[in-house]
Chains A and B, each alone.
Chain A
Amino acid sequence: MHLKYKPAYTHAIICLFLILFCVVQSKAQSTTDSTAAADSALLKQIEAQMQTDTTQQPAAQPRSSLSFNPDIGVIGDFQGLYISKGSRNFDMYLNEAEISLQATVDPYARADFFLSFSRDPATNKYSATVEEGYLTTLSLPAKLQLKAGKFREAVGRINPTHPHALPFIDLPNAYVNLFGEEGLNDEGVSLSWLLPNKAFYQELVAQITSGFSESPAFARSQGNHLIYLGHLKNFFTLSDNATLELGLTGISGPNDSARTTSIAAGDLTYKYKPVQMNTYHSLTWQSEFYYSHNNQTENNAVNAIGLYSFLQYQLAKRTFLTGRYDYGEKPYYNFIKEQAYSLTFGWYATEFSKIEVEAKTTDDNISSRFYQAWFRWIFVIGAHGAHQY
């Protein structure tokens, strides 16, 4: 019996081995096949690349300045001020020295830093602050872009612009009443979405910030009350030479009464710049309107409005004239109403330096009219990125 079963048992083992062998062989074969296929594809790719590489081209010349250092620029802002009231009514000062450091971080993001050195008028001491320092993504899907860090927030046209790039030296009264001389510039995150609108440019921005950089309208809350901002930018190309931008902004955040201040803002900008002679002639009409609602106590809220409107005309290649009208109600004392008119003459020597002179008259309903005049000299060394259009 034992011997009888032995061959069958052996056959079974041999069969099993054969089956296993076949399976392994076929596996090995298929692996070899797939490896061979991959090798062949790789070979083809290499051949194709070599073919491309062997095309006749003059040798590329070595490029200078190859380094991973960021683009570095320094902007000087020297100013003089006269005011028709007070005992010391003239001053000269280096308003700001701004250092910009800008570069791409990796394939996914870029980083921008703007470090500001300026003198505190109260202590007469210079101090350094991070004016802006943020990371911007380059590779989010669905036309999204995320920004994180400290940045000038997306309120209309003036707030995102560095003051040295504005066509006047002072800031509009209504803007300063709400956001202060430094603007709404805070720490947090910003998500922007390019709307899939092929007819005109539309961008929706949502920002959440901590309220760390306090402005007159908002204060850092003791709890987790953050500042929320939404901005819709609409940009229309009217012709090759003319464009129109309409922006709508809503902001809500804690105020210094530990309650909520809400602001609605709108901006409208018309630009005429003949494409062919765009370095010689241009005209810009820009206006912003602000409405603020400040909850002071449970039963008391103060509403205030403010606006500015300016017209800038480029007289010649290097000369610009800007007239501006300001109206502003103080956000917490809306019975104080300010009106101001200003005129600024600018001489732009090159892309890297400009001299401006501004005269302004301000009138409010509680004190007498007063006059101010400024001059400033802006100068840039090193690299400096382009400003928003």
Chain B
Amino acid sequence: MNFMKRISIVALFAFIFFHANAKTIKVVTTLTDLKSITELIGGDKVSVTSIATGYQNPHFVDPKPSYIISLSNADMYVTIGLDLEAGWSPQLLASSRNTKIQKGSAGYVDASEGIGLFQVPTAANRAEGDIHIFGNPHYWLDPLNGKVIARNIANGLERVDPSNKATYEANLQTFYKNIDDKMKEWQAKMAPFKGTKIIAYHNEWVYFEKRFGLQIVDFMEPKPGIPPTPSQLVKVINEIKSNNIKVIISSPYFSTSSSDVVSKQTGVKALTMATSTGAFPSVKNYFDVFDYDINQLTAALK
């Protein structure tokens, strides 16, 4: 009995000791793709929440006070940067009362560091619509940029949790390998469609377009952020007819009404693609985004 008591006490202490040591790094990300990559790099050392869902417009996330609860307790914050989240992220960060995740702190990760950017404007002029002064911020839609994002996230995790650096580095190498392996598969699937002209709803596909050799000839929006106008739809219909365009690509958070009109007029297929992890129930991680989109596109372009 005495012996059992001792065992129990030792077991209790061991449990408390290991439980105390099993502290996970709490990470809040702005987008679900950053959440997915952080989970792949951090493994069981991290617990991650994302503010935006995978099916909402990342420019227009409502800064609900409820997000402040998780931000106030976070060890690390990961943002896409380049002003993508300018309408909501700074306000949430300032209200979080958490010095660990403020810009410039060890726990602040700007995933865009080191990304080769497209569409960096030479002048900031809102007459051109919702332009981004640092360049197009939808860079996660190139899987190779996923590797840069992962490196930035690993650097952040190693800053806030140096004791698990080896784990993060090992997971990063696995992530690199998995991206490289999948890239071969994705590029093989997209190879027959190199140079294919398509229409996009909003200017958020440039990184995907360049990586997989597509050619976006026009947008449903006359200018970024301005809803489609009748004159723009007429222009797009003429372009579809003259270039024999087969596909319009859009995102889950845009109305399909204008694409449907153009589709009826021309027979073009309107595809709602996944812009982020969680866009559709089957898109469960960062890799699934490209699996889903490439499968949709190749099926439509055949």
List A residues at the B interface (Cβ < 8 Å).
48, 52, 55, 57-61, 63-65, 104, 107, 110, 136, 138-140, 143-145, 194, 197-198, 200-201, 203, 233, 235, 237, 240, 243, 245, 273, 275-280, 317-318, 350-352, 381, 385-386, 388-389
Contact = CB atoms under 8 A, between A and B. Distances in A.
B97 A201 contact: no
Q: 8 shortest A-B CB distances, which residue pairs?
A: A57-B114, A201-B65, A235-B65, A386-B91, A139-B99, A237-B66, A275-B56, A276-B55
Given A58-B114, A61-B116, A280-B255, A273 B65 contact: no
A386 B99 CA distance: 21
B55 A386 contact: no
Interface residues of B, number: 47
A55 B117 CA distance: 20
Nearest to A277: B253
25 contacts: A48-B162, A55-B151, A61-B115, A104-B103, A136-B94, A138-B97, A140-B97, A143-B72, A145-B97, A194-B69, A197-B69, A198-B69, A203-B65, A235-B65, A275-B55, A277-B253, A278-B60, A278-B253, A279-B57, A350-B130, A351-B87, A351-B130, A351-B225, A381-B126, A389-B65
Contacts of A388: 63, 91
Contact of B56 (A60, A140, A278, A381): A278
Given A61-B117, A279-B253, A194 B102 contact: no
Interface string B84-116: 000110110011010100111000000001111
Nearest to B112: A60
Contacts of A233: 65
Contact of B72 (A52, A60, A194): A194
Given A57-B148, A276-B55, 13 more contacts: A52-B158, A61-B115, A107-B99, A194-B72, A197-B69, A201-B65, A203-B65, A240-B53, A278-B60, A278-B253, A317-B255, A350-B226, A389-B64
A107 B104 contact: yes
B68 interface: yes
B116 A58 contact: yes
B113 A273 contact: no
Interface string B32-76: 000000000000000000000101110010111110110010000
A220 B64 CA distance: 36
A139 B101 CA distance: 11
Contacts of B252: 276
Nearest to A193: B97
B213 interface: no
A386 B114 contact: no
Contact of A65 (B53, B102, B130, B133): B133
B255 A389 contact: no
B155 A52 contact: yes
A215 to B, nearest CB: 26
Interface of B: 53, 55-57, 60, 62-66, 68-69, 72, 87-88, 90-91, 94-95, 97, 99, 102-104, 113-117, 120, 124, 126, 130, 133-135, 148, 151, 155, 158, 162, 225-227, 252-253, 255
Contacts of B120: 61, 64
B99 A201 contact: no
A201 B255 contact: no
B58 to A, nearest CB: 11
A138 B94 contact: yes
Given A55-B151, A61-B120, A385 B64 contact: no
B99 to A, nearest CB: 5
Contacts of A243: 64, 66
A278 B97 contact: no
Contacts of A145: 95, 97
Nearest to A137: B97
B28 to A, nearest CB: 14
Given A52-B158, A65-B133, A279-B57, A194 B253 contact: no
A355 to B, nearest CB: 16
A116 B162 CA distance: 49
B225 A138 contact: no
B114 A275 contact: no
A107 B72 contact: no
A82 to B, nearest CB: 31
B210 to A, nearest CB: 15
A275 B56 CA distance: 6
Given A58-B115, A198-B69, A235 B253 contact: no
Contacts of B226: 350
Given A65-B133, A136-B94, A276 B253 contact: yes
A203 B64 CA distance: 13
A59 B117 CA distance: 11
Contacts of B126: 350, 352, 381
